[in-house]
Amino acid sequence: DVKVTQSSRYLVKRTGEKVFLECVQDMDHENMFWYRQDPGLGLRLIYFSYDVKMKEKGDIPEGYSVSREKKERFSLILESASTNQTSMYLCASSLRWGNEQYFGPGTRLTVT
């Protein structure tokens, strides 16, 4: 079974703080993704990575950066958290392009 884990289920941070969200997958998948999920908007892609040290912007990258130093780990960084980044963050991985993506349990981030 594919397993995608995320470092925290719930996180509360203050405006202006730097925030790290970690994601680890254990199936040697090539591709990893970060989404945010907001009511009425569905899942929106923030960044994705198709190889170690490679990253591509998704649809809403502003205010975020990512890091992929190892194949199994993909980190999402909020350089200076703002209240409009309060959301559910979901990490996903897929073996190859076009394959189904497997999701982690999500991190509910609240920025106050």
Give the residues lining the site for another protein (CB under 8 A). Answer: 4, 31, 33, 35, 40-45, 48, 50, 58, 90, 97-98, 100-106
- Asked if 33 and 21 touch (Cβ cutoff 8 Å), the reply is no
Q: Residues near 30 by Cβ (< 8 Å), separated by ≥ 6?
A: 50, 51, 71, 94, 95, 96
Residue 62 or 98: the one with the smaller Cβ distance to another protein is 98
**What number of residues does the chain have?**
112
In whole angstroms, the minimum distance from the beta carbon of 14 to another protein comes to: 26
In whole angstroms, the minimum distance from the beta carbon of 81 to another protein comes to: 23
